[in-house]
Amino acid sequence: MDYRESLEYIHSISWCFCKPGLERISELCGLIGDPQKHLRFIHVAGTNGKGSFCSMMSSVLRKSGYKTGLYTSPYIRFFNERMCIDGEPISNEELADITSYVRPFADSMSDKPTEFELITAVAFEYFRRNRCDVVVLEAGMGGRLDSTNIIRDPLLSVITGIALDHTAFLGDTVEAIAAEKAGIIKDGRPVLFGGEDQNAERVISNKAREEDSEYFSVDYSRLNVLSADLGETRFDFGERKNMSVSLLGLYQPRNAAVVLSAVDILNSHGFAIKESAVMSGLADARWQGRFEIIDKEPLTIFDGAHNPQGIDSAANSVKHYFGDKKVYILTGVLKDKDYRYIAARLSEIASRAFVLTPDNPRALSAEDYAAVLRENGVDAVGYATLVDAYKAAKKAAQDDGMPLICLGSLYTYSELIGLVENLK
């Protein structure tokens, strides 16, 4: 298979109606020689903050000289971004070669693997062939039954935080979701919790005790944000002074605090991550779609916030950067999200909204969401397509000298970036 044929094969596999479990991924990895058993992992789960943590953690590790794999989902612009080594995505040729290798084994299975299971197996084989020193491995939607959870002895399990999301799959309480995420905790392996919800913390710490795992949490009282503008954020964390992150959003120093806590745990377990690498790794980390400036004329920022906790963080960041000035927003939402709460929070920061229907069968229509926003005092108009919504939003923001904040699913990012580039 060539690259195009590989992607067609990967995307042709249906994940619907499959019974959750690790049996298929275990069988598939067994057939290809269990590549995951030859690797060392930092396993990462959580509702929000996983991507930013993984980006910063992998940047710190490679700055310290470790050959570092990174596995994330979903991809932002290109499929190859899902698996990287030392910041570089897998090449088209290697993706095609490994997929061609894995395909006959997948096709031979009576209970065929899902798309995510297949991609995970391909990633494990990619990291094994390239002899990565360590892999930062982001779980998919859950934890306990997530395909990545086939790994047995992680260097460290990290749960960035817990909030209500994907309730149809993971449970409708914080405790139920925490129990699913806590499924990545392994016997005798350390675990770090970066959240602050006490009910979630109780579930995760109890699971750690059951597994005889050393339990750590992040002491945010040691975090002091020194400055935060649209150029960078500077902060102290305990004895580490004047640290810098270029990732925007008031929530990024908190994500960085989770990384710094993870570094200390890893160093206490035999790693040698240099402080100079910590400084430069955090400063150089890049992560698309999280309060990212995607255009300067007009000032346009994209943030993939799509659940209440994410919207809270984005709204607080907008208030910090722009004060009492209400901005324009480009947005869409899925109908299984708490869109009434989201609309109420957006009314605190937005005077006008340009609403689209996300390209998803679970999408709330642009007209229906615009009506909810209008109920909350936002001048909102629904548009038939993202193209129409963006063109109208861009013109209005330019004419009125207003910032444009794009909020919602990461799945809109690639098309939106294409529009920004084409309409300059």
The tens digit of pLDDT for each residue in 332-341 reads 998 888 899 9
What pLDDT, on a 0 to 100 scale, did the predictor assign at position 166? Answer: 42
* Domain ranges, ordered by start, for the chain: 3-284, 292-422
- Cα 284 to its chain centre, rounded Å, is 18
H/E stretch holding 354: strand 350-355
- Farthest-apart Cα atoms in the chain, separation: 61
- Measured between alpha carbons, how far is 54 from 148 in angstroms, rounded to an integer? 14
Residues 138-171 have pLDDT tens digits of 998 778 999 999 999 999 999 998 875 544 445 4
Sign of the four-CA dihedral 313, 316, 317, 318: positive
| Average pLDDT across the chain, whole number | 92
DSSP β-ladder status, 134-138 and 215-217: unpaired
For 292-422, CATH gives 3.90.190.20
Residues with Cβ < 8 Å from 198, sequence gap 6 or more?
none
Decide if 264 contacts 270 (C-beta within 8 A): no
pTM summary value: 0.88
Sign of the four-CA dihedral 235, 240, 242, 244: negative
For 3-284, CATH gives 3.40.1190.10
Give the residue from 117, 107, 65 showing the smallest Cα distance to 86: 65
- Listed as ranges, residues in the chain with pLDDT below 70 are 14-18, 164-172, 306, 424
At how many degrees (to 10) do helices 92-108 and 23-31 cross?
110
Decide if 369 contacts 327 (C-beta within 8 A): no
Strands ordered across the beta sheet of 240-245 = 223-228, 233-237, 240-245
Task: Kindly report the backbone phi and psi dihedral angles of residue 51, in degrees, each rounded to the nearest multiple of 5, phi listed first.
Answer: -65, -45
